[in-house]
Structure 1
Amino acid sequence: MSANKGADMGLGIRATVAALLIALFYGLLGAVTWFGVATVHRAFTDPAYLGKDRVVVGLFGTVFVVPAVQVAIAAVKRRAPAYAGVELSPDAQPELWRFIETLAGACEVPAPTRIVVTAQVSAAAQSSAALFGTLRRERTVYLGLPLLAVLDTAQIAAVVCHELGHHAGGDSRLTALTYRSGDMLLAATIRRGKLRMLSLTQGLFQAFAGVYFSMTFALRRRQELAADRLAARVAGSEATATALEALPLITATYAVFAQSNRTRTSAGEPLDPAADLAGYRDFFESATLAAPDGPVRRRLFDSHPPMAERVAAVHGIGSPPTVSIPSGQAIDLLRMWAEVAAATAQVTRSARSR
């Protein structure tokens, strides 16, 4: 059984549910818009409406047309999130490229066309696309330097496989549809400024939004667990579980380190925390994270399952790695990593100052 099929992504069921919800949303939007347009048309063509009555009925119909305008604006404005960072070429970083291309092959997804390192405490695999995510163009893997600084190669392999797993079996297309439709639904429910008079239509869309987001967030949680399973089967259960367990501590410690770091260069100048990877690694290794009091339970609108649930599920798989992963620290996959970190820090500073 292939890694994709073995991961049991359940794409057919998820796609069917998402497609029904999206179709219902656009059907609801179409019905509301049709009612509004028909009301406005009748106000100005029906001789029964004259003077003040014509204006009142016309404004009433407009109330039902405005949500369609809001949704159209949201559709145009929707963009994939951009991460400030440094793009690494295959010639400059051949080891890292081979490493990620091998993982992509094991996950049965197309190899990336770009690899970018960032100062974020995260990783991501992103496809730029057209037609609501159905046509892929550029495929980018983003790697956060804080992760590379403290994880080993097996753990970073698990992180990368998890992100690539969201592109296995068409998951990214499904995600693009649900995210974009969610943006449009929010545009039809959020009141801003003079649009407060739209409470009639908002009540209708807000009721639908509760159902839509409860269902799509449940789908996203299943996608996260499926991506974890794929990572465990490719990079190994142990590496995946320990990487998941480390993520909350990395997030917490890097936030503190970025605010309190006082390291200086040999010339005595302040060193940007994003460039001081060795200092951050020492800080991380000396830190501890208090365990939460009692079990953390799922909530209706959580996009991810509780971390303890994810770790337990990965341990239950008990899979060894199915690809050859070089030993050592993840940061050693980067040539001249100190220079790359300094360049990333500078790009991050420039992006923040805009």
Structure 2
Amino acid sequence: MGAFTRAPRALVPLAGFFLVGPVPLALLALGDWALAASGRHGSGAILLYALSAVLAVPLACGLARVRAPRREEPHGVVLTPEAQPRLWELVRALAEAAGTRVPARLLLTADVGAALGERTRLLGLVPGRRELYLGFPLLQGLTEAQLRAVLAHELGHDAPADTRVSPLASRLRTHISRVVAHLRAGDAGGGARWRASWRRWLAKPYIGYGSFALRVTLRDAHRREYAADRLAARLAGRAATAAALRELPGLETSFAFYLDRYALAAADQGLLPPRGEVFGGYGRLLDARQLELVPMRTELPEVAASPYDAHPPLAARVRRVEEAADDGRADEGRAAAFALLDGPEAVLIALEDAALKVPSSGTWSRAADWPDLLTRSMNALLGDQNAPLPRALRREKGTAGLPTLLSVIEAGELWELARHLPASAGTRAAKGRARRAMLRPLLRAQLHRMVLADFAVRGRLRWEFSWEGPHAAVLTGEGGAPLEAGEGGREDGAPALEDAIDAALADRPDTGPLRALCALGNGPQAPKDGLV
């Protein structure tokens, strides 16, 4: 099939989406006109008019709902040509080489990825101002050549590779995708039951036909993605394009991990890293954990994200690029893409201000450095009295400290207390040893946390910050010196602490090792059989 016929064949089912409502309404109107022209005015004609009105009302209401949601402005920093001349020079050169328009605006975002947005008009029929969105993690994780490949791919979506109809089909597909997603989200919304049922009924024809149109045009959408990859390989080099595609899964995973475990670990407490470090620390994490990213570069997903995803499976895209002839450009652009930014410190600070929502308190507080952030966030987490086990202790005993819990264990009341912990229906229905086996992992995690909280309250816990691996909790003696490995040592490899917790939660519990480790003194003798 030639390029002249491919795009129109994709355009026809997409255009049909906008006729789902008007065509039945027009047929009903035509039927009413024909009935009136026939001169029939009996009871049968009245019933036909009434039936026509009953059918027309939901069709008209459904047609009113078929609109794309208002496009939300991405949060980010506008990079002007004056402030970032080198980055803009690259974008202009790629747009010229691709034979497409230069974007009117370049926005740096806090997302992993790049996209070319367009403010279209008339349901996507008329093109408008184009904006290029560039995710900051790409600057941190890619080389200059790899970034060139990503930008060339995005700009290539509007390149005149086939016919003038192809960009129109792409815009219509994007518009329909947004409408269908909007209708599906509306169906899942709240409100009165009758109203929700009415919305679902109205949306079904449009969701059904829209999904059909997206599915039958998927091959054309994939073809356009492959074409954009070929253009990227031509402009940036085969090796750089394949390498950029291979980097994407690792960047997505590592950036989400970085935000959760580092930058925003204490965000719910209104605490952030030092100014400029919210995104500035990501590069250090990437440098420290390169070995962990290797499997993500090789084990690429073989399945698309959804059956309607315009992007083919990543593994298939990489194979097509790597199967192309060697162009001898493997050694180009090895410098970090981050070096293209002028005044990167100011850009990172501006991105923080644009991407982070101000907490309810109205201000963020800043840690002195990363170790200070870790210590303050972990101590606040350990001190949370709404954790399941402290909450159960308060409910039953009026106090939630570790000594109280050890006394409960020694009195043989632990498994009775455990009935207040959140558990699945199967766990709640189980009895005896089976119930204890199901509850033990939760109890173990909660007891471990309470031990660390006890050490923290008495100033016998300090945290060692690490980019390379898990942060380490170091238990110290009464004088502040770290305990020997046989006495406790590190949280991630403390055989004495782990063994003491296991002994306290055994079917025949022994709290002696845990009391000795925590310097809590001796408690009463546990029941001999240790069972409830």
TM-score by structure 2 length?
A: 0.55
Alpha-carbon separation, structure 2, partners of 1:60 and 1:49: 17
Q: Identify the match of residue 63 of structure 1 among 58, 71, 76.
A: 58
Alpha-carbon separation, structure 2, partners of 1:210 and 1:31: 19
Contact 1:161–1:235 (CA under 8 A) maintained in structure 2: yes
Shift of residue 325, structure 1, vs aligned partner: 6.4
Alpha-carbon separation, structure 2, partners of 1:142 and 1:94: 17
Percent identity of paired positions between Structure 1 and Structure 2: 26
Per mean C-alpha deviation after superposition, the further-off stretch among 274-283 and 240-249 is 274-283
Shift of residue 206, structure 1, vs aligned partner: 5.4
Give the AA of the match of 2:232.
Answer: A
Shift of residue 89, structure 1, vs aligned partner: 1.5
Contact 1:158–1:235 (CA under 8 A) maintained in structure 2: yes
Alpha-carbon separation, structure 1, partners of 2:303 and 2:282: 34
Alpha-carbon separation, structure 2, partners of 1:56 and 1:50: 10
Shift of residue 224, structure 1, vs aligned partner: 1.2
Structure 1 counterpart of 2:273: 270
Shift of residue 275, structure 1, vs aligned partner: 3.6
Alpha-carbon separation, structure 2, partners of 1:321 and 1:164: 23
What are structure 2's unaligned runs of at least 5 residues?
Answer: 189-193, 266-270, 363-532
Change (3 A) 1:46 1:194: farther
Alpha-carbon separation, structure 2, partners of 1:86 and 1:255: 20
The answer on 1:348 being equivalent to 2:358 is no
Secondary structure in 2 matching 1:250? helix
Structure 2 counterpart of 1:93: 84
Give the AA of the match of 1:161.
Answer: A
Contact 1:235–1:321 (CA under 8 A) maintained in structure 2: no
Alpha-carbon separation, structure 1, partners of 2:283 and 2:309: 34
Q: Whose helix fraction is larger, Structure 1's or Structure 2's?
A: 1
Shift of residue 310, structure 1, vs aligned partner: 0.6
Structure 2 counterpart of 1:215: 216
Alpha-carbon separation, structure 2, partners of 1:226 and 1:139: 20
Structure 2 counterpart of 1:259: 260
Q: Identify the match of residue 279 of structure 1 among 260, 267, 284.
A: 284
Secondary structure in 1 matching 2:108? strand
Q: Identify the match of residue 26 of structure 2 among 26, 34, 38.
A: 34
Shift of residue 251, structure 1, vs aligned partner: 0.3
The answer on 1:155 being equivalent to 2:158 is no
Alpha-carbon separation, structure 1, partners of 2:307 and 2:107: 33
Shift of residue 136, structure 1, vs aligned partner: 3.7
Alpha-carbon separation, structure 2, partners of 1:255 and 1:333: 24
Contact 1:40–1:58 (CA under 8 A) maintained in structure 2: no
Shift of residue 81, structure 1, vs aligned partner: 5.1
Secondary structure in 1 matching 2:323? helix
Contact 2:272–2:278 (CA under 8 A) maintained in structure 1: no
CA RMSD of aligned residues (A): 3.9
Contact 2:14–2:169 (CA under 8 A) maintained in structure 1: no
Q: Identify the match of residue 20 of structure 1 among 12, 23, 26.
A: 12
Per mean C-alpha deviation after superposition, the further-off stretch among 274-283 and 108-117 is 274-283
TM-score by structure 1 length?
A: 0.79
Contact 1:38–1:61 (CA under 8 A) maintained in structure 2: no
Per mean C-alpha deviation after superposition, the further-off stretch among 53-62 and 24-33 is 53-62
Structure 2 counterpart of 1:288: 293
Give the AA of the match of 2:80.
Answer: S
Give the AA of the match of 2:348.
Answer: A
Alpha-carbon separation, structure 2, partners of 1:165 and 1:81: 24
Contact 1:63–1:198 (CA under 8 A) maintained in structure 2: no
Alpha-carbon separation, structure 2, partners of 1:330 and 1:293: 24
Q: Identify the match of residue 117 of structure 1 among 108, 114, 121.
A: 108
Q: Deviations over 1:199-223 (max 9, x none)?
A: 8876655553443121223322221
Change (3 A) 1:20 1:121: same
What are structure 1's unaligned runs of at least 5 residues?
Answer: 1-7
Secondary structure in 2 matching 1:116? strand
Give the AA of the match of 1:62.
Answer: V
Aligned length: 337
Structure 1 counterpart of 2:75: 84
Shift of residue 196, structure 1, vs aligned partner: 3.2
Shift of residue 312, structure 1, vs aligned partner: 0.7
Higher relative contact order (CA 8 A, sep 6+): 1
Alpha-carbon separation, structure 1, partners of 2:346 and 2:299: 42
